[in-house]
């Protein structure tokens, strides 16, 4: 959905640019071109971040119907390992470097103060803590609802 919104936003920029040509207004042409090009670039970045082509994102679910039952995967791959809070604490304190990518869940939980506290405690232990910008989330309203695979 956010990719579609970004794509439609870019189309509005190109239509503004076209209106600028028709009205012989250079400001509309330039502003529309900036909005259109930046929207297309953002759309392509988000598609790349989700490992999907733009055609699959824009047309992929066409005709499936909204609100229908979700399709189930035919096969299960990999193994599931339950992780407890203690396991996460052990992994974090044993790590040399940690990357935190804030997302929608952290914002809704208002966890910024707890994350800042955790950051300070980890740095005091000599652990390198870095913050990453989510490749999809936060660019337009609703973009933080898109999740991608794990960090490598």
Residue 114 and residue 57 share a domain: no
Residue 69 maps to a domain: no
Residue 79 maps to a domain: no
Q: Which pLDDT score, from 0 to 100, does residue 90 have?
A: 94
Residue 56 and residue 95 share a domain: no
Which of 19-33, 66-80, 91-105, 113-127 is least confident? 66-80
Q: Residues 2, 143: contact at Cβ < 8 Å?
A: yes
Residue 96 and residue 48 share a domain: no
Q: What total of structural domains would you count in the chain?
A: 2
pLDDT digits (tens, 9 = 90+) for 27-75: 999 999 999 999 899 888 888 888 888 888 877 765 555 555 555 656 7
Higher-scoring residue by pLDDT: 107, 35: 35
pLDDT digits (tens, 9 = 90+) for 5-31: 888 889 999 999 999 999 999 999 999
Residue 49 and residue 109 share a domain: no
CA distance 50 to 2: 12
Domain that holds residue 140: 84-152
Q: What is the DSSP letter of 144?
A: G
Residue 133 maps to a domain: yes
Residue 52 and residue 4 share a domain: yes
Report the predicted TM-score, pTM, of the whole model to 2 decimal places: 0.46
Q: Helices in the chain by DSSP H: which ranges?
A: 2-23, 26-49, 54-59, 85-94, 104-109, 112-124
Residue 75 maps to a domain: no
Q: Residues 130, 100: contact at Cβ < 8 Å?
A: yes
Residue partners of 123: CB distance under 8 A and separation at least 6:
129
Residue 51 maps to a domain: yes
Residue 4 maps to a domain: yes
Q: Which pLDDT score, from 0 to 100, does residue 52 have?
A: 84
Kindly state the average pLDDT of the residues 112-140. Answer: 81
Which of 31-35, 79-83, 100-104 is least confident? 100-104
Q: Residues 2, 146: contact at Cβ < 8 Å?
A: yes
Residue 126 and residue 88 share a domain: yes
């Amino acid at each position: 959905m956010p990719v579609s919104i970004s794509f439609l936003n870019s189309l509005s920029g190109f239509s503004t640019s076209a209106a600028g040509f028709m009205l012989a207004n250079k400001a509309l042409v330039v502003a529309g071109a900036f909005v259109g090009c930046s929207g297309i670039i953002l759309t392509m970045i988000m598609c790349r971040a989700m490992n999907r082509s733009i055609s699959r994102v824009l047309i992929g679910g066409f005709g499936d119907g909204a609100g229908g039952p979700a399709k189930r995967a035919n096969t299960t791959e990999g193994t599931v390992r339950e992780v407890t809070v203690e396991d996460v604490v052990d992994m974090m304190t044993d790590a040399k470097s940690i990357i935190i990518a804030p997302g929608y869940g952290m914002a809704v939980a208002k966890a910024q103060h707890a994350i800042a506290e955790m950051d300070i405690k980890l740095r005091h232990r000599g652990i390198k803590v870095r913050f990453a910008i989510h490749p999809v989330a936060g660019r337009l309203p609703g973009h933080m609802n898109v999740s991608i695979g794990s960090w490598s």
